[in-house]
């Protein structure tokens, strides 16, 4: 058996892998992706079955504790989560410090980090019980925090959580109820919201999850680690892609303009890419995109917009790209973000909220991965090496002589 660590120490040898395309930074038992087959499982259960038969909170339990809950365990988990949905009243003042037109992701990133200031009692990561309380607090409060960011950005009063509603319905209530009128929850819309949460719950070592693990490897408190994940998710190559995909579909506008955009995506002198297409790991259809496509159809039917031009452009674009050798050869298929934006738009969310909703859905995945890492006896601080390409050692030159 070769001791890789002492081999590095003796030879100074290390791997050079920008973008970590082939380097595993941890072992994990939470989520598995077979990118060639287009398969995604959580704790062994296929995402298609979880999407059809389960719900977001049950998937949260599965990701956190490794098994599906029985009835009592589920009832206890629901009760623990709903007991923590309120945020500290002083947090309301904290929101007021933001510009009224601040991007919801800027607010969410700041507020999640600030939770460490409001909930000192659960920042001691050496205590498993405190780690558990911090985890439940974040899963319970993220919908409240994201809904408050939305309310703040549209200049409406905050709406308190209703614990008699399920997780997705409560989020819709906090976003869309106003003092004069309670939001009427359509079960199809609530189910679509729950599906969006479920399909985004975890996705193994993506950029934001790796960020959470790296932050956590220094024993930083859990709120700081999740805030780091939110910050990373914001980028358009990651969580920001759903916003970018919808903007692109709208820009294309009509089916007859698709060839023009396909040609641009193929032109290497044009930086334009088809947003919502391609994935670092999936070299086959993203299984989440299939569920999203059907959900988009159902939601638009409920909203009475079956002939929605954006959905028509999306379906036709998928078809044309699916027959084009450029996309076939590079194995570029629609990813989860391709259809989720259409659904969120139909529900009534502005595009600036899309990534914040992704962040609230992914919080459980980040937490499950963080907990797994903290409990790992092999845990080490993350410290990538580098390939130094700068000047060799040289003598300092006095300023008068430069
Ligand atoms: N449109 C056109 N061409 C593309 C696209 C696209 N969306 N994606 C990849 N390509 C091409 C590249 O130009 C490259 O072509 P080449 O071999 O001729 O140079 C080839 O496909 C491989 O692309 P890479 O950039 O090497 O693939 P990588 O794995 O690094 O990137 C990524 C994956 C970032 C997702 C990329 O496909 C992309 O930019 N997609 C659009 C943004 C997007 O939808 N992001 C969401 C990701 S999913 C998520 O975060 C939930």
pLDDT tens string for the chain (402 positions)? 566 656 666 777 788 898 998 999 999 999 999 999 999 999 999 999 999 999 999 999 999 999 999 999 999 999 999 999 999 999 999 999 999 889 999 999 999 999 999 998 888 899 999 999 999 999 999 999 999 999 999 999 999 999 999 999 999 999 999 988 999 999 999 999 999 999 999 999 999 999 999 999 999 999 999 999 999 999 888 888 888 899 999 999 999 999 999 999 999 999 999 998 998 888 888 899 989 988 988 888 887 766 778 888 988 999 999 999 999 999 999 888 888 988 998 899 999 999 999 999 999 999 999 999 999 988 999 999 888 889 999 999 999 999
Task: Specify the 3-state DSSP secondary structure of 39.
Answer: strand
CA of 330 to the centre of ligand 1 (A): 9
Rounding to the nearest 10 degrees, give the CA dihedral for residues 76, 79, 83, 85: 120
User: What is the 163 CA–ligand 1 centroid distance (Å)?
Assistant: 41
CB of 335 within 6 A of ligand 1: the answer is yes
Nearest ligand 1 atom to the CA of 265 is 2
Determine the residue of 278, 321, 335 to mutate for testing ligand 1's pocket, defined as the one with the most ligand atoms within 8 A of the Cβ atom. Answer: 278
Cα–Cα distance, 26 to 372 (Å, whole number): 10
Instruction: Report CA(327)–ligand 1 centroid distance (Å).
Output: 10
Q: Is 22 exposed, middle or buried (0-12, 13-18, 19+ CB in 10 A)?
A: exposed
Among protein residues, the one whose CA lies closest to atom 12 of ligand 1: 330
Neighbours of 92 (CB within 10 A): 13
Whole-prediction pTM: 0.90
Active-site residues: which are they? 279, 337
């Amino acid at each position: 058996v070769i001791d890789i660590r002492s081999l590095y120490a003796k030879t100074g040898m290390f791997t050079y892998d920008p973008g970590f395309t082939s380097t595993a930074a941890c072992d994990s038992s939470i989520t598995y992706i077979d990118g060639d087959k287009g398969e995604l499982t959580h704790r062994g259960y296929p995402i298609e079955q979880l999407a059809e038969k389960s719900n977001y909170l049950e998937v949260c339990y599965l990701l956190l504790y490794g098994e599906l809950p029985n009835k009592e365990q589920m009832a206890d988990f629901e009760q623990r989560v709903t007991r923590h949905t309120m945020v500290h009243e002083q947090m309301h003042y904290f929101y007021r410090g933001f510009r009224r037109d601040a991007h919801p992701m800027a607010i969410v990133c700041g507020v999640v980090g600030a939770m460490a200031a409001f909930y000192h009692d659960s920042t001691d990561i050496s205590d498993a019980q405190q780690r558990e309380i911090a985890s439940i607090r974040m899963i319970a409060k993220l919908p409240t925090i994201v809904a408050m960011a939305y309310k703040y950005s549209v200049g409406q009063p905050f709406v308190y959580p209703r614990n008699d509603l399920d997780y997705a319905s409560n989020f819709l209530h906090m976003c869309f109820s106003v003092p004069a009128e309670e939001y009427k929850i359509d079960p199809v819309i609530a189910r679509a919201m729950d599906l969006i949460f479920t399909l985004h719950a975890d996705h193994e070592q993506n950029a934001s999850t790796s960020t959470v693990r790296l932050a956590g490897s220094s024993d930083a408190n859990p709120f700081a680690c999740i805030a780091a994940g939110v910050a990373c998710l914001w980028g358009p190559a990651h969580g920001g892609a759903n916003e970018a995909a919808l903007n692109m579909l709208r820009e294309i506008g009509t089916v007859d303009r698709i060839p023009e955009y396909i040609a641009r995506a193929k032109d290497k002198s044009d930086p334009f890419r088809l947003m919502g297409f391609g994935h670092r790991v999936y070299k086959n259809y993203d299984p989440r995109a299939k569920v999203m496509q059907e959900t988009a159809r159902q939601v638009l039917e409920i909203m009475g917009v079956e002939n929605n031009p954006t959905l028509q452009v999306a379906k036709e674009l998928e078809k044309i790209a699916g027959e084009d050798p450029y996309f076939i050869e590079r194995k570029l298929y629609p990813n989860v973000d391709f259809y989720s934006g259409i659904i969120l738009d139909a529900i009534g969310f502005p595009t600036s909220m899309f990534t914040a909703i992704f962040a609230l859905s992914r919080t459980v995945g980040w937490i499950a991965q963080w907990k797994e890492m903290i409990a790992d006896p092999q845990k080490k601080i993350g410290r990538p090496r580098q390939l130094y390409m700068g000047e060799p050692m040289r003598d300092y030159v006095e300023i008068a002589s430069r």
